Structure 1
Amino acid sequence: MTLIDSLMSFTFAITLLTLTPGLDTALVLRTATSEGSKKAFQAAMGVNAGCMVWGAVVALGLGALLTASELAFDVLKWVGAVYLCWLGLQMLIKPRSQMAAETTVANSSHRKGSNWFIKGMLGNILNPKVGVFYVTFLPQFVPAGYPVAAYTFGLAMIHVLIGTLWSSTMIAATRPLSRWLKRPAVVRTMDRLTGLVFVAFAVRLATSKR
């Protein structure tokens, strides 16, 4: 496989996978509609940071531990499932009725504590399926004669770039609908639907196998 073939094949494959609706898409869309573009972009950057961490781990060869050690996979899997379930239940039990920028002063301390960059990053890092995916997928596109570590991390950066473009597109698409999306009933519905998605992903993660 030549360098051009590698880059073209990987870019095509990872673009299709990025466009496939999943947990990251749900997180960015929910945050854009109920928290605003700024918070949604923070969440997207958090997801990308998680991809960068996994890319670095895999590039250094540590990601192979997830495929070699069932215990390591199970521990990270359950921690991730609990975290996703906790996020989902919060949205189901206490859905918001207003955009973050419109909440009352009484809720200001809660707003300040909502760091969507951290939430997006942890949601990605605590999902061992991402690590296993990187371990099994990225090496297939490393052409002969190129440094594996540097090239693997470079592929992860391509994934991050495509993810940023896709997230930005989704966030921008919510702006024309902002007035409608600010309605209390819509915000509550989005929170509850996203909460269900998060819980479903938590169950799926908890029951997944290597």
Structure 2
Amino acid sequence: MKKSLGKYITAICFLILIGVISCTSDEEITKDPASEELVTEAKKFLNGNIVLNTHATLNGVNKTLLKSGCPTKFNFEWSETDDNTFTVSLLNFTVGKMGMIISFKCDVQTMQLNTWEKDEYKGSGWFKFYGENGSTWSEDEGKSSSSKGSNVKGYYNVYTHEINFIVDYNMMNVRSECFLQTIDKGRINNYEEEFAQFEKDLAKYKEDHGL
């Protein structure tokens, strides 16, 4: 009985050790850049001004209110010196009567998906992008200031052009959540009309719900 118990404990300890080693190895993989093939494909499409739907949240509460989110203009610009780095910029963002137009940018790096992320983002073509300590500026001030602690984390598929990411400003628990969607680059041509319609729909929603 004692020998059986000893073997059982030894087996459990061995499995725990293997798990720790696997997790450490998997964590190291996530820091490796995406493959050259994926980066090359991404540069062909994930560039310039792109309109995406986002939810602006404050303390976890969706301030854009509408399920479809708010049409938001982002810019993606790849580094000329580092193939695995690009800048994500949120341009002139405002919702309803915010009273201020905010812009934000952050350098991010491409990374491989870890084991758990591969289970969630199935199929080929996916890579992760992550960056920290961006900067913000307003149209009124015209100059940028460091947003220490802010970060951008997202996922992109170079073949289907699906994307989702979260911008955490590290300020008053405000985040922009770009939920999973397929990029339509033609939306940039109708951005002003889309945003104007969103403002009308938002005003009606508030009226209907007594907000």
TM-based fold match above 0.5: no
Class of the TM-score when normalised by the shorter of the 2 chains: under 0.3
Larger CA Rg, structure 1 vs 2: 2
More strand by share: 2
TM-score (structure 2 length as normaliser): 0.25
Name which structure has the greater RCO, CA cutoff 8 Å, separation 6+: 1
More helix by share: 1
